[in-house]
Amino acid sequence: MEDIKSLLVEANKTYLANFEPKTWFGRCIFLSWYCDVGTCDFCFRSTIKHKIRHAPTAKRNLATILAEGIIGKELGWRLEFLTGGVRIFSFEELLDITKKMSEVYGEKIWINLGSMTEEQLDALKPYVEGVCASIETIDKKLHNQICPDKPIKPYSDMLRLAKSKGFKTSMTIVIGLGEEKTHIENMFKFIEEHKLDRITFYALKPVTGTKYTKSPEVEYYAWWIAKTRVRFPKLEIMAGLTPKRPEYAEMILCAGANAITKFPVVKQFGTEVAKSIEIQAKNAGRKFIGSMTKLPKTDWKEKVTALPFDEELKKRIYDKLCEEIEAMQKIRNKKTDIDDD
Residues 64-71 have a mean pLDDT of 98
Q: Fill in the amino acid letter for 152.
A: I
CA-wise closest residue to 145 among 178, 189, 176 = 178
At residue 317, the pLDDT reads 98
The DSSP annotation for 43-89 comes to: SGGGSHHHHHHHTTT-BPPHHHHHHHHHHHHHTT-EEEEEE--TTSS
Q: Is residue 236 in some structural domain?
A: yes
Are 162 and 169 in contact, with CB atoms under 8 Å apart? yes
Task: Give the span between the Cα atoms of 133 and 115, in whole angstroms.
Answer: 7
Q: Is residue 286 in some structural domain?
A: yes
At residue 1, the pLDDT reads 46
Q: Is residue 99 in some structural domain?
A: yes
Are 109 and 129 in contact, with CB atoms under 8 Å apart? yes
**Strand ranges, E, within the chain:** 22-23, 25-30, 78-83, 109-112, 128-136, 168-175, 198-203, 236-240, 259-261, 287-288
At residue 21, the pLDDT reads 98
- Condensed to tens digits (0 to 9), the pLDDT of residues 25-42 reads 999 999 987 665 555 555
Q: Give me the percent of the chain exceeding a pLDDT of 90.
A: 72
Q: Is residue 341 in some structural domain?
A: no
Q: Is residue 78 in some structural domain?
A: yes
At residue 243, the pLDDT reads 66
At residue 340, the pLDDT reads 31
Domain of 17 in residue numbering reads as 4-335
CA-wise closest residue to 68 among 98, 120, 27, 37 = 27
CATH of the domain at 57: 3.20.20.70
Q: Give me the percent of the chain exceeding a pLDDT of 70.
A: 87
Residues 94-100 have a mean pLDDT of 96
Q: Is residue 85 in some structural domain?
A: yes
Q: Is residue 168 in some structural domain?
A: yes
Task: Give the span between the Cα atoms of 289 and 80, in whole angstroms.
Answer: 14
Task: Give the span between the Cα atoms of 137 and 145, in whole angstroms.
Answer: 10
Are 131 and 158 in contact, with CB atoms under 8 Å apart? yes
Q: Count up the domains in the chain and report the number.
A: 1
- Condensed to tens digits (0 to 9), the pLDDT of residues 255-294 reads 999 999 999 999 999 999 999 999 999 999 999 999 999 9
- Condensed to tens digits (0 to 9), the pLDDT of residues 223-258 reads 999 999 999 999 999 999 976 777 789 999 999 999
Task: Give the span between the Cα atoms of 243 and 230, in whole angstroms.
Answer: 28
DSSP annotation of 182 reads G
Supply the mean pLDDT for the chain.
89
Task: Give the span between the Cα atoms of 302 and 86, in whole angstroms.
Answer: 35
Whether this prediction's pTM lies above 0.85 is answered by yes
pLDDT band with cut points at 50, 70 and 90 for residue 87: confident
Are 110 and 129 in contact, with CB atoms under 8 Å apart? yes
Range name among 98-112, 134-148, 157-171 with the lowest pLDDT average? 134-148
Q: Is residue 340 in some structural domain?
A: no
